């Protein structure tokens, strides 16, 4: 059996990277939703961070990143209509 040509292998790996990036983005969105629920339940980011044994900065950063992503997608949706 002959090995796959390099162009096909590159194309396959690019498709896999696209899929992995999409999955990671979707996971980050779900995580941010869960963190927001935690903030709602516990009262603030610091309490969620203590509960998860993470820095408050890491929790805040994840929430802000998701907020920016949502704002950008809403901006994109409004400009294409």
Looking at residue 73, its pLDDT comes to 84
CA distances 18 to 5, 6, 14, 25, Å, are 20, 18, 6, 11
Listing DSSP states for 14-41 in one string gives HHHHHHHHHHHHHHHHHHHHHHHHHHHH
Structure confidence by residue, pLDDT tens digits, 13-62: 999 999 999 999 999 999 999 999 999 999 999 999 999 999 999 999 99
Tokens of 58: 């890491």
> Which pTM was predicted?
0.80
């Amino acid at each position: 059996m002959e090995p796959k040509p390099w162009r096909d292998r590159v194309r396959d790996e690019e498709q896999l990277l696209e899929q992995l990036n999409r999955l990671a983005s979707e996971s980050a969105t779900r995580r941010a939703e869960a963190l927001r629920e935690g903030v709602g339940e516990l009262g603030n980011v610091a309490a969620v961070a203590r509960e998860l044994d993470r820095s408050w900065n890491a929790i805040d950063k994840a929430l802000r990143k998701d907020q920016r992503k949502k704002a950008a997608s809403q901006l994109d949706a409004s400009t294409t209509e």
